[in-house]
Amino acid sequence: MRDLLHRTSETAARYLENLDHRSVAPSPEAIAGLAELQEPMPDRPMEPGLVLDTLDRIGSPATTGMAGRRYFGFVIGGSLPAALAANWLAGAWDQCPGLFAASPIGTALEEVSLGWLLDVLKLPPGSGGAFVTGATMANFTALAAARHAVLARAGWNVEADGLFGAPPITVVVGDEVHPALSKGLGMLGLGRSRVVRVPVDGQGRLRPDQMPRIQGPAIVCLQAGNVNTGAFDPAREICARAHSAGAWVHVDGAFGLWAAASPQLEHLVDGVADADSWATDAHKWLNVPYDSGLAFVRDVTALKSAMSVTAAYLPQGAHREPSQYTPELSRRARGVEIWAALKSLGRTGLAEMIERNCRLARRFADALRQGGYEILNDVVLNQVLVSFGDPARNWRVIERVQRDGTCWCGPTDWQGRTAMRISVSSWATRDEDVDRSVEAILRAAAAD
């Protein structure tokens, strides 16, 4: 075991060091090499060292350089050194943190991290929390608590009796709702399409003057950080209106919620803490390894009512029992890396990382604008939308950028226009990485 783990750490270190010298996108040859994986289930065992070598030989070249300094696709984030190291140790620990009796350390790290997270994200102390796979499940989990609460107030027990015959719930979303939240609504029986969609402004912010009149059981879904523009819905005003009508307010803050951790950016989350539940990702802007999402719910009882699980063989002690807050019973101990990331950054390090990413996004926007290209969004956070002209030209330039391999950015559609989307969300990205990437992007655009 010791030799194997030593070799693994050498292999992984070599992989990470090499990221700086290879194309961010895997080469066509590396992708073609994946064909070697297509073999029947092996009959005979293979020595673990050889398994690792095979994985490295076929797998490492076929990875996308998401852990590197110049990956700006989607909203990905890297892995902080302390978080990656903790992830390895957690793998060796192999803890199942659903119950305190099963894993005292796994549950303790989640409990401590939960308190720290509520603190840095400026959310109500004492809120309930669930450590899940990502923001999709975090939205699902928080919305399950919302569904419980609004129906309980109407005298209906949704966990026991289901939705057949239940009082209808009005669900309000902005027109720019993230598809992952809509999927959560679908999984909860609230319907992906059975929603009131509120028009948004040019940055994708829900327009409060367009809010419908709300009556009866209702859930209003806001967004902190639009996945294209980075814009925030006006939470203070909408929370006040929704609450006066007795509605539950949920915030999808998959990456935007982390703005709260920065004194410079905190103004963006004004009023977000007035909501009733929040979803965010630690694998995005906290830069922990996949997968790691977080749901927070002000009313702990609502969350526990939606998620509780009981059986004689599942002891419920005096401790916080994580499986009472999550959809899963067995799962990995995500608190380990979250704790390590927060411990290694501290309050100041976290703020600095978020602010640096936003500053680098502005550096991108300024340089591309100077290069003669149009920036479609107000760069308030870490997202930049740049257009090189008509849709066909944008597609060609983006493809050329990806093939060049200096950096990786993806396409998007913003309010009827095609654009390239740049998301700066890794601890590892520095000024010179942005400058090198801008050069490559301008080269690709000029070649068209």
Ligand X SMILES: *Cc1c(COP(=O)(O)O)cnc(C)c1O
Number of chain positions touching ligand X (CB under 6 A): 13
User: What is d(CA 87, CA 334) in angstroms, rounded to the nearest whole number?
Assistant: 9
Question: Contact between 268 and ligand X (CB under 6 A)?
Answer: no
Any contact of residue 254 with ligand X (CB under 6 A)? Answer: yes
Question: Of the two residues 139 and 323, which places its CB atom closer to ligand X in the complex?
Answer: 139
444 part of the interface to ligand X, by CB under 6 A = no
Under the binding rule (CB under 6 A), the answer on residue 95 touching ligand X is no
Q: Does 297 bind ligand X (CB under 6 A)?
A: no
Helix or strand holding residue 224 (H, E): none
Question: Helices 431-446 and 335-370 sit at what angle, rounded to 10 degrees?
Answer: 50
By the rule CB under 6 A, 289 interacts with ligand X: no
**C-alpha of 205 from chain center:** 19
Q: Take residue 67 and report the two structure tokens written for it.
A: 């852990």
With CA atoms as reference, report the closest residue to 193 among 182, 184, 202, 204.
182
Q: Is 75 an interacting residue with respect to ligand X (CB under 6 A)? A: yes
Q: Please, which residue, 255 or 258, has the CB nearer to ligand X?
A: 255
Per rule CB under 6 A, is residue 281 in the interface with ligand X?
yes
Distance CA 70, CA 95 (A): 33
**By CB under 6 A, is residue 178 in contact with ligand X?**
yes
Residue 129 CB partners (closer than 8 Å, separation 6+): 110, 114, 117, 118, 294, 295, 296, 297, 325
252 binds ligand X, rule: CB under 6 A: yes
| 173 in contact with ligand X (CB under 6 A) | no
Q: Which stretch binds ligand X (CB under 6 A): 154-162, 247-255, 317-325, 345-353?
A: 247-255
Q: Which of 131, 156, 248, 255 binds ligand X (CB under 6 A)?
A: 255
Strand 128-132 relative to strand 383-387: parallel, antiparallel, unpaired? unpaired
> Which lies closer to ligand X via its Cβ, residue 141 or residue 305?
141
Q: For 237, phi and psi rounded to 5 degrees? A: -65, -45
Q: Is residue 333 near ligand X by the rule CB under 6 A? A: no
Parallel, antiparallel, or unpaired for β 248-252 and 277-281?
parallel
Which residue among 82, 123, 145, 180 contacts ligand X (CB under 6 A)?
180
- Local structure of 240: helix, strand or coil: helix
Nearer to ligand X, 380 or 440 (CB): 380
Give the interface with ligand X as residue ranges (CB under 6 A): 75, 134-136, 178, 180, 225, 227, 252, 254-255, 281, 293
